[in-house]
Structure 1
């Protein structure tokens, strides 16, 4: 089973930021400032300088782009090990705890779910409608279009209108599932489950035998859905902000 040290770099590459840089093992991501993953520093390995100097440099990098500094700290994978204490001393606190779950791929798809290699206008309609903040929706759609090949985008229509979507990034024999969204009028009908199964079936056909996804730790309905499909908790991460 893939561990955090192997998975986190894949997760960073699967949902690419508009602008990326490195400080040794620290990955810096910047986009429009909404989606946390692509607007944060991922300290996955030792930085290329003293930790305090690295913190100064990361803060300056975000400030130069008009963004607040943000750090994504993954359980068991933080360099240096005392980074949380260093951040706390600078006035940061942990927020938005997220659960990473792992599960199997499957061959059982759904003939009614359309799967394509790129998002189309109907896919983007559902994504934007469920984003809440239009700017957040636009930033995420831009990120969707940066997912490296092979990527897959699934859409399930009801009565001729797009109702549920999801996407996947396949790399190194594993698939990451993102952007699971259901239009408000079609929730609690099992559509997300059908989209997920279609994506996992497609990923298996492309050579992936293991899947991963990220879900906010307090999203009990989503966690229950994924658990019912064979996913189990692997590790957690949190964002540190001022």
Structure 2
């Protein structure tokens, strides 16, 4: 799938609390933590001059006290010179991220519990993974709760504890993987792969054929895991940001 085909699917799979449009530009806002749901996705031409559109985006995020952030995707950003326009305005480049795709083929695992909603044990590990940032955890839990059906939430229990988890969103023949977490006490045991396999097997049963996921370029262990599982980089995206106004 091309970036122009897959990016709208990825946007719908991880929904922001607030969503507005400026023509082909998608404005997403929540509490400012998860970058994807707190950024403008310029996936097509705006409904006005590019400079006026940037002004409108800055006003949108400024009204909410959030950093102004653009998510620019290789092969799907309009206009093509948007990064140059943002650089002239003082935006900083960061967050190089890979969009990886692979086959939606997995193996069911009797120790991986699947549900249509995150349960309290799932939520507890996700909150713990936020390392004390309760607001960050709350935003991500809210986003997980907004994933449209059919969604699945996977939890692997070992030694009486939630050891690993993940989630997926199925949209036709595409399935997005989100929220992969492993308790630090259970790392290096292949649990993330087991959760991923269980999610992919479930998604395939729901009609998915192609899986996608986002992983930061600096996260080499995750990239190695997904690469070994048959995923490869389809394209990249990166963020351009300005701090929130006081």
Same fold (TM over 0.5): yes
Q: Which runs of 4+ in 1 moved over 6 A?
A: none
* Distance in structure 2 (CA, Å) of the matches to 1:26 and 1:235: 19
Q: Distance in 1 between matches of 2:108 and 2:37?
A: 30
- The secondary structure found in structure 2 opposite 1:87 is helix
**Structure 2 length normalisation: TM-score?**
0.97
Greater alpha carbon shift after TM alignment, 100-109 vs 206-215: 100-109
Separation (CA, whole Å) in 2 of partners of 1:73 and 1:240: 8
Structure 2: gaps (5+ residues): none
- Measured against aligned partners, the alpha-carbon deviations of 1:185-220 in whole angstroms (never above 9, x if no partner) come to 111111000000000000000000110000000111
1:20 lines up with 2:19 in the alignment: yes
Matched residue SS, 2:35: coil
Q: Which runs of 5+ in 1 are unaligned?
A: none
Tell me how far 1:172 sits from its aligned partner. Answer: 2.2
Q: Give the secondary structure class of the aligned counterpart of 1:71.
A: strand
Q: Which residue of 2 aligns with 1:65?
A: 64
RMSD: 0.7
TM-aligned CA distance change 1:153 to 1:19, over 3 Å: same
Residue 42 in structure 1 maps to residue 41 in structure 2 = yes
Deviations 1:79-132 (A, max 9, x none): 001000000000012101000100001142111100111100000011111122
Distance 1:192 1:107 in 2: 13
In 1, the alpha carbon distance for the partners of 2:80 and 2:11 equals 20
Structure 1 position 166, deviation (Å): 0.2
The equivalent residue for 1:158 is 158
- TM, length-normalised to structure 1: 0.98
In structure 1, the residue corresponding to 2:101 is in which secondary structure? strand
Contact 2:17 2:143 in 1 (8 A): yes
- Measure, in 1, the Cα distance between the counterparts of 2:127 and 2:3: 31
